[in-house]
Structure 1
Amino acid sequence: MRLICGLLRLDGGPASPTTVAAMAAAMTAPGLAPRLAVRCDGPVGLGVLAFSRAHAAAVVADGALLLAADARLDDAGEAPEAILARAIGTAGPDFPDRVDGDFAVAAWDGARRRLLLGRDAFGVRPLAYALRSGRWFAFASLPKGLHGAGLAAADYDPAELAALFLQVYHRGAATGFREIRMLPAGCSLSIAADDGVPRLCRAFAPDPATVGRWRGSADEAAETLRILADAAVRARLPATGPAAAHLSGGLDSSPVAVLAARALRERGDRLLALSWSSPLTPDRPGRDEAAMAAAVLAAEPGMIHRDFPYGLPLPDRGFDPDWPTDPIHAHLDLSTAAAAAFGAGVVLSGVGGDQAASYDGRHPYLALLTAGRIGRLVRELPARAEADGVGLARAIHGRLLRPALFGRDGGARRQALTAERARFLVPALRAVAPDLALPRQLDGFRPEDRVGAVLDNHLPSRCTEMAFAGARHGVAFAFPLLDRRLVEFALGLPLHLMVDEGLARQPWRRAMRGVLPEAVRLSPHKLGGSDPRHVRLAAHAPALIAEAAALKRHDAATAIVDLDRVAAVLALLGRADGPPAAVLNGAARALSLARNLARMADQSKLASST
């Protein structure tokens, strides 16, 4: 794992290695001792932190460029910095579109006195930046590398935090901080020392005209997907030693874990499979993924398995100032710590499968009808009825007629739930937070739906959240299903191949024959971890209500969270006639945000006083 940081002085002064070292220190979690390389050249200073013995800490000179890179590129036969430097030389600001792999890079061209930043197509590696006009432009893998070193204020942006609370992830350049931006996925940013004006360039942008243009059979498509997926997993495994992988039991994480375990077994290494579950009986019997994960483990006995309970947002949990809406030391953090203790420098995740390889768009049978694929529709509806265990008339009503008449029903329900959660925000933010919302995802099978699923979505922010967890433990995250070759091939698949054998999410399911147990491969439902968290929270209700009352004294908390509303809803925990579980859980999460805002404000006051 690597992190990068640096700055460009805009006031004519020389960059100081001490400043770069302070940025690196701000990104280094307690207990970790990464190696640090710093290099300064006039107004610019660059730094690279390496947490793994497999990665060197080096700021690399290549021709006219100095490069600080956090990169894992698909071309393993050449140094990443050399590949990136060549792409910059030939494509300039468009270089992120010319490099396949995961990267965040800063390149200084001393002759042109220009700094160029770039981030990979899907935002796997994070890169934040801040500008103080006429003084400096600074960048770092983690926002704390900026605000922790005094190069940007640690002041939160209330609207961005409100949007993060409502939708779990940031959109685009948002970080939650007023002065800090995240470089969007697939973009570059250039800034010259002479004018100090940042120029953003979108380099990666799939063309909707290419969507669905691939021609071949279902078996040929499945074979290609299987080959690409296996290559993507192997490319992201460490050269030596063990690895870890998330295992939910779903269609995305399960094949990643299985393919990784098999590749590691070939060389005598092992995989640690990490699952998350509820300590209570799921509130959706028969629809929880735990049984699916157990089936995968039974079929691949060489995996070592650890399971972690979903955490509760309680006062004893720590928090990361770069992600203040949720506590750390919960399931993601604990499982990442377990991977580090296992000696795994990389944790593989199935994130991104829904958006491309196993595309999970809404209303596939309606899409077949709209596209005029009547023959396929007539064949697939009876097969779907059989898979669901219902009569044909019911399948036609549920899978075709109802979406045709009320296609936005699910969206309306989600909007109503979002509006209910928004009531935990102060009135001024209830109106502005929706303006920062992510667009609806997986809304259908039109080319613009499928391109939007990989271009303007939550994936970069989700990858960033995991990168924050990895940085706390010196572990990198990798996402094989966000492999660019795999994503672009999946985008090319035509609609009629995506519904087959009575099931959607094809031909990925067909590709996973021999990889997944049939019960997992052919499961007709999109499941997901199920945790009756509100039941577990009921025992803590008195303490949480008292905390909400105490937090009303903190301006930082009351500027964003309506603590009276939070306390009123928490008082309904454990009652049979209480509000829906999502609302109760939202109240606890709002309290967690208020708590963390108050803590951050207290820490800032303490730092300023010393």
Structure 2
Amino acid sequence: MCGLVGYAGFMGHAPQGTEDTSLKEMTETLACRGPDATAVWAEGAVGLGHTRLAVVDLVGGRQPMLLARDRRTVLAVTFTGEIYNHARLRSELTALGHRFTTRSDSEVVLHAIDAWGEGAPARLEGMFAYAAWEPDSRRLTLVRDRFGVKPLCYARLGEAVVFGSEPKAVLAHPAVNARLDLDGLRELLLSAHPMIKTPGRSAFAGLNEVAPGTVVTVTPEGVRTRRYWSLTPAEHRDDLPATVARVRQLLQESVTAQLAADVPVSVLLSGGLDSSVIAALARPSAKPLHTLSVDLGNRASDKDSMGRDPDGPYAELMVRHLGSSHRRVALEAGALADPGARALVGRLRDGLTLGDFDTSLLQLYRAVRTDFPVTLAGDGADELFGGYRWFTPQAAAAESFPWEGVLHRADLTRLLDPALAAALDLPAHRAALHRAACAEIEHLPGAAPEEAALRCDSYLNLTRFLPCLLDRADRLSMGVGLEVRVPFLDHRLVEYVFNTPWNMKTFDGREKSLLRAAVTDLLPEPVLNRRKSPYPMVRDPAYRAALTAQVHRLLAEDGPATDLLDVAAVRSLLLEPTDADRFPREGLELVLDLDQWLRTHRPALQL
């Protein structure tokens, strides 16, 4: 895994304000992403930095990596991620005359860029982001993996570019200032409530993200953006038995490939279908199999207002079934509401948080990292196989993101200053984002209306909803130096399932029936047939009490967020019912998060 930073001046001058310490300071902001090594390289107006989490070739994979000919650097690369087909690519490149000095996938990326240029990303299988500098053509290339598992952002400063894995790294450069305008505030709010990610945008004015599956090329002539991968329609020719067999094959290949590492690997096991599938497929290759789960102290008989049932009994059943070496990570409500924990999560995410969903996940990741630098998780299965309750023809046909009605249970804009809320006009903005996303989708000729609507639903989930979850997982895991791998997002599997007709995905009338059929022989019946139960939330009244006290203090202190809030509406929120499940936690968390974000980044407001 790792973190990357850098800058490049295209007319022979580094970005204005660049000092000798600038590159080092940018790199240090990402120390948590790479606790094993830190290095920088600079030549003229260009600088690259790297922080390393050593997973493959612990000795030989140091970066930035340089390729020289005739004692002159012709290519410099800083790379983060994992390339699961690096051994096969190494063989291809060796046959082309390339010579390797390490076993690392980083060196494979270096030679792949040298051999195939902008065609290199399409040959890489994995999760990755990289920056490549070619001195002869003065060309900087920024690339991000197909689903945006690994982050990468950049700011254009006249004839120069500053870039990094996270906004905080770019903002550490003296020439880049944090600014918040209306578009940025819209992105900040919607990416958390109700979780809509706009490809290529960040919350900071002038700071762009490299969109998933995209190459950004910067030369003295300007900036060019090109998609090298996207979800496209293809006719599905397999019958149901062949489809089930193919899904199983692709899943097994993905899990097996992602278990490869030179360090210990574990599997997150909640007892849900998705994580249980990963653990079961990992068992033949992982000896012994190590699994971990989170325990929020909820009673075994509890069900909350969203229909969640506790994971514990199902996780224990899977542990007995697999014979895995298992650890339960017990968390306390008070620790999840701690202001310091919330502030840390906010700094790691450079955005608003999901409250105890985030603080608990960070603690889980921290516990995993004590023994395992790498873990596998089930992210992406619901978006791919249709596991959410909003995968219905009715929701898909609506002129809004299908999950809005489920996740956006309260209008949080009522907590904002009325004039600011009117200027933001989030309903119109969401509608415009939905129209733009739907305009990207391609359909096969003659597709039935219901099939087309559900394909649209799947596309929106994979490209607008899932990126929010992937960003959350990346920032929180890398915040403790943990690499989280996501086998369900092997692009071959995604392409195949995305183009499978909906009547096959739900052939027995249940959600994710295609996935269940592919793993029927692997799981005990209660786990195989368990309905979707989202990541658990704490239901201890102490959590509500802690949030309420913190908001009272914020209002008394007249913190930076109060200028953006309707204080009367926030005070009214504090008086709403205190039921453990239904209390207005999202509103309280929004108020606290917005205040923390403003304190952390101190942006110039352009609202």
TM bucket (normalised to shorter chain) is 0.7 to 0.9
Q: 1:544 aligns with which of 528, 550, 561?
A: 550
User: Contact 1:207–1:451 at 8 Å: present in 2 too?
Assistant: no
Assess, with a 3 A threshold, how the Cα gap between structure 1 residues 198 and 405 changes in structure 2: closer, same or farther: closer
Q: How far 1:406 moved relative to its partner? A: 10
1:282 and 2:284 equivalent? Answer: no
Task: Specify the alignment match of 1:292 in structure 2.
Answer: 314
Quote the residue 2:200 is aligned against. 173
Moved more, 323-332 or 490-499: 323-332
Give the conservation status (yes or no) of the 8 Å contact 1:175–1:181: yes
Question: 1:223 aligns to what?
Answer: 245
Partner of 1:188: 215
Match of 2:503 among 492, 496, 502: 496
How far apart are the structure 2 equivalents of 1:406 and 1:18? 54
Among 39, 46, 61, the alignment partner of 2:66 is: 61
SS of the equivalent of 1:354 reads helix
- Note closer, same or farther for the CA distance 1:330–1:76 as it changes in structure 2 (3 Å cut): same
Q: Show CA shifts across 1:349-371 (max 9, x none).
A: 11111222x2337688x86xxxx
Matched, 1:483 2:504: no
**Is the aligned partner of 1:142 residue 2:161?**
no
Residue in 1 that maps onto 2:124: 99
Asked if structure 2 preserves the Cα contact closer than 8 Å seen for 1:248 and 1:528, the reply is: no
Match of 1:390 in 2: none
The alignment partner of 2:215 has SS state of: strand
Judged with a 3 Å threshold, the aligned counterparts in structure 2 of structure 1 residues 189 and 436 are, in CA distance, closer, same or farther, namely farther
In structure 2, relative to structure 1, the CA distance for the partners of 1:182 and 1:418 (3 Å cut) is farther
Q: TM-score, normalised by structure 2?
A: 0.80
Q: CA deviation at 1:170?
A: 3.4
Alignment partner, residue 224 of structure 2: 199
Corresponding residue of 2:352: 325
Match of 2:94 in 1: none
| Distance in 2 separating the partners of 1:531 and 1:53 | 32
Deviations 1:149-177 (A, max 9, x none): 43422344323222234224532123322
1:559-579 Cα deviation digits (max 9, x unpaired): 443343222112224269xxx
- What secondary structure, in the 3-state scheme, does the structure 1 residue paired with 2:513 have? coil
Counterparts of 1:64-463 in structure 2, within 5 Å, are 64-77=74-87, 78=90, 80-81=105-106, 83-85=108-110, 88=113, 92-93=117-118, 95-134=120-159, 136-156=160-180, 157-168=184-195, 170-192=197-219, 194-195=220-221, 197-208=222-233, 210=234, 213-265=235-287, 269-275=288-294, 277=296, 279=298, 281-283=302-304, 287-290=308-311, 291-309=313-331, 312-317=336-341, 318-319=343-344, 320-321=346-347, 322-326=349-353, 330-342=359-371, 344-356=372-384, 358-360=385-387, 414=405, 417=408, 420-427=411-418, 428-429=420-421, 431-434=424-427, 437=430, 439=434, 445-446=451-452, 448-449=455-456, 452-453=459-460, 456-463=463-470
The structure 2 residue matched to 1:574, chosen from 578, 589, 592, is 578
Gap change, CA 1:90 and 1:492, over 3 Å in 2: farther
* Cα distance change on mapping 1:521 and 1:330 into 2, 3 Å: same
1:378-404 Cα offsets, whole Å, 9 max, x none, are: xxxxxxxxxxxxxxxxxxxxxxxxx59
In 2, Cα distance between the equivalents of 1:575 and 1:285?
Answer: 14
Partner Cα distance (2:177, 2:427) in 1: 25
Q: Tell me: CA distance 1:545–1:127, structure 2 relative to 1, closer, same or farther (3 Å).
A: closer
Partner of 1:27: 30
- In structure 2, distance between residues paired with 1:472 and 1:405: 36
Instruction: Determine the C-alpha separation between the residues in 2 that align with 1:27 and 1:450.
Output: 35
Distance 1:410 1:239 in 2: 38
1:392 maps to none
Distance 1:125 1:423 in 2: 34
Please tell me whether the aligned partners of residues 167 and 350 of structure 2 are also in contact (alpha carbons under 8 angstroms). no
User: Higher mean Cα deviation, 319-328 or 589-598?
Assistant: 319-328
Q: Supply the distance in 1 between the matched residues of 2:482 and 2:450 (Cα, whole angstroms).
A: 36
- Counterpart of 1:558? 562
SS state of the match for residue 458, structure 1? helix
Q: Distance in 1 between matches of 2:450 and 2:23?
A: 46
- Post-superposition shift, 1:76? 2.9
Unpaired runs of at least 5, structure 2: 69-73, 91-103, 442-448
Distance of 2:212 and 2:404 partners within structure 1: 30
**1:595 — aligned with what?**
595
- Structure 1 stretch 242-251 or stretch 15-24: which is displaced more? 15-24
Q: Structure 2: how far apart are the matches of 1:568 and 1:404?
A: 32
Q: Is the 8 A contact 1:74 1:100 kept in 2?
A: yes
The Cα shift of 1:122 comes to 0.5
Give the distance between the partners of 2:170 and 2:306, measured in 1 at CA: 46
Q: Percent identity?
A: 22
Q: Distance in 2 between matches of 1:276 and 1:88?
A: 45
Contact 1:352 1:481 in 2 (8 A): yes
Structure 1's 115 and 532: CA in aligned 2 closer, same or farther, altered over 3 A? Answer: closer
The 2-side partners of 1:65 and 1:408 are apart by 47
The amino acid across from 2:545 in the alignment is A
**What CA distance in whole angstroms lies between the structure 1 residues aligned with 2:596 and 2:35?**
27
8 Å Cα contact 1:121/1:204 also seen in 2: yes
What residue is the counterpart of 1:48 in the other structure?
50
Offset of residue 243 of structure 1 = 1.9
AA partner of residue 412 (structure 2): R
> Structure 1 residues 570, 215: CA separation in 2 closer, same or farther (over 3 Å shift)?
same
Equivalent position SS for 1:429? helix
Give the AA of the match of 1:35.
A
